[in-house]
């Protein structure tokens, strides 16, 4: 299957798509020995030979990784405040990966990373309907009325927040564990849902992204997704 030349260069790690367009317009890119002088050219990654300044550009293998993000780290490559990042748990050779969505500093659980832009779009864009499941430990007593309110949806800071499905897993004397399934996953949506109802979230763990489960993966550990998991996520309607 042919793709645009600038997309090929981006996926090969040569430059971003916009920077790749500049390389093409500067006539620094050749396909099968012929210099490219305009945008719009498409190449077959499996058959065409692409060079930049005479050096071969080859597509990098696609990687799909599930990481158990621990609490107390962020989902970026570096942090000006010196906080730990999720990339400290990955091999150095995987520095070209990027997180598929985010988990905030104090949230733990399943985080996907990839170098496949189409895969990332399929998982994160609301139109594909990939649901995320969380377990929230909250202070207080959770009632059926509260669960029903979270499923109906609430307004908070000008946004509509809603859980597609809510289930009480455990109710103790002073704390409860609630499972929530979200369709969109707005910023801090689970925490905001509970805060809007006067509850404090003590612990928040993402356990599922579509068919991919956190399972027994320990904090700071990772695994590569199975072909079946990748196919399932890419085939979302």
* CB within 8 Å of 201: residues ≥ 6 apart: 136, 137, 138, 190, 191, 194, 195
Report yes or no: 209 and 114 within 8 Å, Cβ to Cβ: no
**Assigned token pair, 15:** 């430059």
The catalytic residues are 104
- A 10 A CB-CB count for 115 gives 19
Helix (H, G, I), strand (E, B) or coil at 95: coil
Distance in angstroms (rounded) separating the CA atoms of residues 70 and 101: 16
Give the 3-state secondary structure of residue 89.
Answer: helix
């Amino acid at each position: 299957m042919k793709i645009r030349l600038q997309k090929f260069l981006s996926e090969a790690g040569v430059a971003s798509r916009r920077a790749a367009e500049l390389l093409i317009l500067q006539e620094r890119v050749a396909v099968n020995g012929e210099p490219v002088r305009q945008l719009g050219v498409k190449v077959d990654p499996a058959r065409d030979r692409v060079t930049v300044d005479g050096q071969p550009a080859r597509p990098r293998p696609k990687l799909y990784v599930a990481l158990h993000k621990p609490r107390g780290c962020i989902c970026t490559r570096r942090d000006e405040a010196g906080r730990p990042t999720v990339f400290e748990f990955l091999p150095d050779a995987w520095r070209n990966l990027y997180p598929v969505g985010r988990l905030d500093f104090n949230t733990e659980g399943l985080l996907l990373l990839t170098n496949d832009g189409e895969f990332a779009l399929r998982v994160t864009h609301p139109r594909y309907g990939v649901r995320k499941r969380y377990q929230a430990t909250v202070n207080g007593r959770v009632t059926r009325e509260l669960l029903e309110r979270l499923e109906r949806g609430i307004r908070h800071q000008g946004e509509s927040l809603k859980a597609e499905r809510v289930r009480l897993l455990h109710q103790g004397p002073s704390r409860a564990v609630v499972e929530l399934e979200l369709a969109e996953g707005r910023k801090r949506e689970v925490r905001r849902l509970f805060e809007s109802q006067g509850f404090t979230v003590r612990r928040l763990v993402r356990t599922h992204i579509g068919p991919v489960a956190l399972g027994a993966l320990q904090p700071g550990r990772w695994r590569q997704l199975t072909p079946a998991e990748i196919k399932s996520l890419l085939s979302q309607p």
